[in-house]
């Protein structure tokens, strides 16, 4: 059996834990000293890892960590019942709402956490 977890680099741990638990209803599972914590969304563990801005993600990579808004083809989708309620909480806890679509298939809001990491909240 293979298990999957997600790691998200953040510059500030308390703010990250607060955002993911309050805005997205994740459950805090544990602190992992010295600089990380684990929250859960359903059966998925999300590891919040403190990483300083401007540092290299890996030694042979020229890219530097930046906490401005950025895009990646791999992102999280939070499947929820109340998209508008989630957007209200996302904004309240420092996130961003960047667009919205509705259709017969459901509803989606394109968002970002306070550190520029993009994600979607979706009602199917």
At which residue do the structure tokens 């309050």 appear?
Answer: 22
User: Which residues have CB under 8 Å from 50's CB, separation 6+?
Assistant: 9, 10, 11, 12, 13, 35, 36
Fold (CATH) for 5-54+67-123:
2,3-Dihydroxybiphenyl 1,2-Dioxygenase; domain 1 (3.10.180)
Q: What are the boundaries of each domain within the chain? A: 5-54+67-123
pLDDT tens across 58-81, in order?
A: 889 888 998 999 888 888 999 999
Whole-number Å distance between alpha carbons of 86 and 84 = 5
Per residue in 11-68, pLDDT tens? Answer: 999 999 999 999 999 999 999 999 999 999 999 999 999 999 999 888 898 889 989 9
């Amino acid at each position: 059996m293979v298990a999957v977890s997600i790691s998200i680099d953040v510059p500030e741990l308390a703010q990250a834990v607060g955002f993911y638990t309050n805005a997205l209803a994740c459950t805090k599972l544990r602190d992992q000293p010295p600089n990380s914590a684990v929250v859960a969304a359903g059966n998925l563990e999300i590891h919040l890892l403190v990483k300083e801005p401007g540092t290299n993600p890996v030694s042979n990579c020229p890219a530097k960590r930046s906490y401005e808004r950025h895009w990646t083809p791999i992102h999280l989708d939070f499947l929820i019942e109340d998209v508008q309620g989630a957007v209200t909480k996302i904004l309240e806890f420092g996130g961003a709402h960047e667009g919205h679509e509705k259709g017969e298939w459901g509803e989606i809001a394109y968002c970002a956490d306070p550190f520029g990491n993009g994600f979607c909240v979706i009602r199917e």
